Amino acid sequence: MPGKHVVSREDWSLHRKGEIDRQRHREKVREAIKKNLADVVSEESIIMSDGNKVLKVPIRSLDEYHFRYDQGKRKHGGQGDGKSKVGDVLGSDPQPGSGKGKGAGEEPGVDYYEAEITIDELAALIFEDLGLPNLEQKKKPQLASEALEFRDIRKKGITSNIDRKRTILEAMKRNALNGLPPLGSITKDDLRFKTWEVTFKYESNAVVLAMMDTSGSMGPFEKYIARSFFFWMVRFLRTKYQNVHIVFLAHHVEAKETTEEEFFTKGASGGTRCSSVYKLALEIIEKRFSPQDYNIYAFHFSDGDNLASDNENCVKAVNQLLNVCNLVGYGEIEGPYYYTSTLRSAYKKINNPKFTAVTIKDKSGVYPALKKFFAVTPEQQAKG
């Protein structure tokens, strides 16, 4: 019959609608996670996991479009020639309380559901704008790592690599030639698939020195914050730079190089002499990582409770590191019984654009610290 539209199982618009809904869902999940990255990044269940955990993120559900009536029972000012004057307060919205109102509420609640996401997917959101700043070309030949690039379109391939846009275009062309509706049907001949080629990605050599204070003044909170930062730093480096070297250094009065497992699990006690870890870092650079061959980065986390007599030694050692490093980062953790840090005050003397310092007061400060230490320009991001 004229004007009658029949929807068949082969109607591509149904498949496209389902894909649009899935895409919208993925974007909603992504948006919700990005808004709460500061809280998600420092989640204890992630930091203490083996790296293969599936996370559940609460997301507010969508309402259908509907009229929402005035819950103030029309107790608001309108337009007219009444006795009100400019500046008069006509009404105010109720302020949210602590949960103890005048009685049982009559407003509907907000529905939430939990969306699952893997740590790898979360890492991709965290790392999308991060990179190693000030990367330079070095004399030593660059290391090559394999990378996959989609460079060709073919008529045969696996379903997961289907190119929907090109497939729809092919169907529209064929249907137009045959006088059919643009998306009346899709045949096997219309299908187009992306294919990849193995290429090589060349990376500048880089080494990152992870330095952590493990002295007695570093309580459970301070150690947890430091390990949270280094957990994401290590994952970031290994995700984006396959050939980067990471050296783990722990210190109290004395400093030593440790394994990755010891760095994240073992504690210590005793006093604090931060200059010891800087001197060890300088020795390692001199023996193993020439600045002519490597981009060098050093990151140190402490509570700032250092021997006052050692502060000048720290300033001198940091300045020496700045002569051979692309960036030196210092992160100070303010504990619950925080007092003015003598070490942070001493570092105010350092005037070098390659030195960056951050202060973390709670768990939500870990993500901003990552953003500040690994901030790169759009030009550097494009090259990376």
Please check whether residues 307 and 367 belong to one and the same domain: yes
Q: Name the residue among 362, 215, 204, 207 with its Cα closest to residue 299.
A: 207
Q: Kindly report which listed range (216-225, 280-289, 315-324) carries the lowest average pLDDT score.
A: 216-225
Across residues 211-228, what is the average pLDDT? Answer: 91
Across residues 115-144, what is the average pLDDT? Answer: 73
pLDDT at 33 over 60: yes
Q: State pLDDT tens for residues 101-112.
A: 555 656 555 555
Structure letter (DSSP) for residue 190: G
Please check whether residues 163 and 57 belong to one and the same domain: no
CB 307 within 8 A of CB 271: yes
Across residues 188-211, what is the average pLDDT? Answer: 77
Please check whether residues 121 and 269 belong to one and the same domain: no
Please check whether residues 182 and 231 belong to one and the same domain: no
Q: State pLDDT tens for residues 366-379.
A: 999 999 999 876 55
In a domain, 82, yes or no: no
Segments in the chain forming alpha helices (H): 12-35, 37-41, 44-47, 119-127, 164-177, 220-240, 260-265, 275-288, 311-324, 342-347, 366-373, 378-383
Q: Name the residue among 296, 220, 298 with its Cα closest to residue 255.
A: 298
pLDDT at 5 over 50: no
Highest mean predicted confidence (pLDDT) among 57-71, 109-123, 322-336:
322-336
What's the confidence (pLDDT) of residue 204? 65
| Residue scoring higher pLDDT (23 or 222) | 222
- CA 349 – CA 364 distance, rounded (Å): 28
Separation in Å, CA 22 to CA 19, 27, 70, 192: 5, 9, 34, 21
Number of domains, the chain: 3
> How would residue 257 be classed by pLDDT, with cut points 50, 70 and 90?
very high
> How would residue 279 be classed by pLDDT, with cut points 50, 70 and 90?
very high
Please check whether residues 186 and 213 belong to one and the same domain: no
Domain carrying residue 41: 1-62+111-128
Q: State pLDDT tens for residues 185-198.
A: 788 888 888 876 66
* Matching residue, tokens 């970031």: 236
Phi, psi for residue 355 in degrees, rounded to 5: -105, 125
Please check whether residues 236 and 147 belong to one and the same domain: no
The pTM of the full predicted model, rounded to 2 decimals, is: 0.65
- CA 178 – CA 163 distance, rounded (Å): 23
| Residue scoring higher pLDDT (52 or 29) | 29
Across residues 17-23, what is the average pLDDT? Answer: 66
- CA 244 – CA 142 distance, rounded (Å): 11
- CA 34 – CA 29 distance, rounded (Å): 9
